[in-house]
Amino acid sequence: MLTSGCGAIAKVQAWATSFPVPPGDRVRMGVGRTLKPDAVVVKVTTDDGIVGWGESHHGRAHSSIAHFVTHALRPLVLGMDATDVQGVWHRINPRQLASHGIGAGCAIAMSGIDMALWDIRAKAAGWPLYKLLGGASKLIAAYAGGVALGWQDPSALVDEAAAHVRAGYKAVKLRLGDTVERDVARVAAVREAFGDDLEILTDVNAVYTLADARRAIPQLDELDVGWLEEPFPAHDYRSYELARAFGRVPFAAGENHYTRFEFSRLVDDRVVSILQPDLYKTGGVTETMRIAALASAYKLPIHPHSSMTGINMAATLHVLAAIDGNGYFEADVSRGNLFRDELTPTPFAIDADGCVRPSDRPGIGVEVDETFLDAHPAIEGPAYA
């Protein structure tokens, strides 16, 4: 039975946290070689004592994002009804998000607060989040992604992919953005090793030129690649438009687009055919559901981007269980991801058919170890080199 409420927002806290990546686990890809994962964890507490957890993307400035949460947004939302996620959005939007254009930093920061409020709402109802969002428990196909399957010798890449296939995955995402020749060689090696039964997805991390795309796309078509993710930077709409004529592979984007207003441009241009909002960047659960409704109207699939901590991963599963379509869950298979394994143990479990389910526990369904946050303070400096 639904409860009558869960109280007012009494406290908002944000932690910037990091841990170093051992040299043997570092992954090289378009954004550089990994040095340390960064994350921003947000905790909202109501005056009735209900605790909600959310995550904001680090934005390559995790200390600054945490500071933004606690010093710019917290004063705006304290005392508001914790169930009033629309009201919180409207309180923040004109004062912080829209007054100087759509601010990426604000969208990222408010994503963590919004996610935590949905965790609170579902806990107060005694329901898993997917049920509060109008969904149902269901199997969701997953692909092996996250900070993994990067630039390496093709034989080593095949070995890494094989481990994920043995674990149950029927799809993997490979990192492109090296030279076109090496990119194609890696995709070809994985295709030859596993045949047509494995879905191969690719991510360029926005570093291709138009000339690169012109050479790569016909070859990726021949290799039956499922999508080409972010061949160009998020703002480079003209390159997306021009490159559409180079071949058939679907373009995917949205990980670095903020709020439904930027997604409306992706939809209107009719070039990107796969949308990838990330809950901890684009505005949280509230805004992702709005983006999903926009996508549904145009019959565009939603395959959310997800990585870093289990908070965002678990919340993403709930959203996937509640929206139209059968979008992929990006399962983070990074080696040694302490955010996934220790901060929030077991945010998802892959089955033999390569599928996952959202948690049936009330709220988002993850337990956060606050002692981990104390033991892993922010490490300043770049996360990639």
Look at residue 3 in the predicted model and tell me its pLDDT: 43
Whether residue 26 is found in the same domain as residue 41: yes
Question: Per-residue pLDDT tens for 236-277?
Answer: 999 999 999 999 999 999 999 999 999 999 999 999 999 999
47-72 tens-digit pLDDT: 999 999 999 999 999 999 999 999 99
Smallest CA-to-CA distance from 234 within 298, 305, 299 is with 305
What pLDDT does residue 99 have? 65
3, part of any domain: no
| pLDDT tens digits, one per residue of 88-99 | 998 988 666 666
CATH of the domain at 99: 3.30.390.10
According to the model, what pLDDT value does residue 307 have?
86
Q: What is the pTM of this model?
A: 0.95
- Per-residue pLDDT, 100: 63
Q: Which of 330, 339, 234, 235 is nearest to 279 (CA)?
A: 330
CATH at residue 253:
3.20.20.120
pLDDT tier at 1, thresholds 50, 70, 90: very low
What range does the domain containing 222 cover?
A: 131-368
Q: What is the pLDDT of residue 2?
A: 41
Tokens of 185: 């060689």
Residues 183-211: pLDDT tens digits?
Answer: 999 999 999 999 999 999 999 999 999 99
As for how many domains the chain has, the answer is 2
Residue 223 falls inside a structural domain: yes
Residues 201 and 219 in one domain: yes
- Burial class of residue 158 in the structure, from the number of CB atoms within 10 Å of its CB (0-12 exposed, 13-18 middle, 19+ buried): middle
Q: Please, which pLDDT band fits residue 326 given cuts at 50, 70 and 90?
A: confident
Which helix (H) or strand (E) segment holds residue 212: the answer is helix 210-222
Q: Taking the CB of residue 291, how many other CB atoms lie within 10 A of it? A: 29
Quick check: 284 and 110 in contact, CB under 8 A? yes
